[in-house]
Amino acid sequence: MAGQVHAACSVVATSPASFGSVSSMSVLTTVQPSSTPNAGLSCAPLLLSVLGSGDHFIATVTGSTQGGMLGPTGDVIRYTLYANNTTTYPMTRGTAFDFGGSGGIAQSYGLVFGPGTKTLPLYLGSLTGSNVAAGLYSETLSILWSWNYCSGINLIGVCLGRDTGTNTATLTVSMLVTNDCQITTPPISFGSAPVVSGFSTVTGQASVNCTKGSAYTVGLSDGQHPVSVGGRRQMISGTNLLAYDIFVSASTTRWGSVGAARRASGTADVNPGNGLGTGSQIFNYNAKIYTDQATPPGGTYLDNVILDVGF
């Protein structure tokens, strides 16, 4: 009895795997997922609905010498490949991984039985701990596919026709890393005093941890009740106002939000220069109540000031 072949596999162009746009802090601390619905192996349907233990769909993945996605400054983001959408089936570079066999991944995806032509997906998860600069990261993987399965009629365990072949696909993996910061700004408290001249100068610091290699500036807004744009900041209690200001380090230079009033990362009091990614840069300040104003009525005076980082 002759067997008719009902299916054939081939290697086709892959669909790129993109992690999308991810902040540098997320890359450092959190596993990022990605996937491709098409890793390069495409198979048409056959009449059989069950793959046997002798049916194999093998992928051997190799990549760049740096072992991960390379960025514009030479930083590398490493990641793991998985054969399904859990971490149960990790794929090791340079080691053959078999999607086939009875009960295998190919069977669960219906690779060679209908309806329609099927492809095998791959899943990816970035490794945490990558302290990297902003920019586009990418790697091109080579996937050697090899297949050998019963593609014809199977009579009492005898296969009347097999489809075999090998070919190589390439897969592009990418991630766009964006600038980000972690900011710590403790509240400023002047305490209490009966007259404006009784308030002491308060010193403090803002802690900023920004993307590795990033040059940035730090600004302080004028608060909610400034005398004018770039003028004195004021706290409020009811309808009463109390003028104060925040100054750079230990100086009398007002720390503002625009132009030269902003502080560059290179002027940090601790760790001046570009961002570190895993270490904070400290910006010291001193805050004072203006003593050339009349003492307002007693009360609790408040203001909110926004610290912003610009790249």
Beta strand pairing call for 17-23 and 158-178: parallel
Half-sphere exposure for 51 (CA within 13 Å, toward CB): 28
Distances (CA, A) of 243 to 67, 157, 194, 257, 291: 57, 91, 15, 18, 9
d(CA 269, CA 251): 12
pLDDT for the residue numbered 2: 43
Q: What is the pLDDT of residue 49?
A: 55
Task: Give every CB contact of residue 201 below 8 A, 6+ residues apart in sequence.
Answer: 286, 287, 288
CB-based contact 34:138 (threshold 8 Å):
no
CB 220 within 8 A of CB 256: yes
Domains defined for the chain, CATH in brackets: 9-178 (2.60.40), 181-310 (2.60.40.1090)
Q: Token pair for residue 104? A: 């295998």
Residue-level pLDDT, tens digit, the chain, 311 residues: 444 444 589 999 999 999 999 999 999 999 999 999 999 999 988 755 567 888 999 999 999 999 999 999 999 999 999 999 989 999 999 999 999 877 789 988 888 876 789 999 999 999 999 999 999 999 999 999 999 988 776 555 677 778 899 999 999 999 999 999 999 999 999 999 999 999 999 999 999 999 999 999 999 999 999 999 889 999 999 999 999 999 999 999 999 999 999 999 999 999 999 999 999 999 999 999 999 999 999 999 999 999 999 99
CA distance 296 to 193: 11
Residue 73: count of CB within 10 angstroms of its CB? 11
pLDDT of residue 4: 45
pLDDT value at position 58?
97
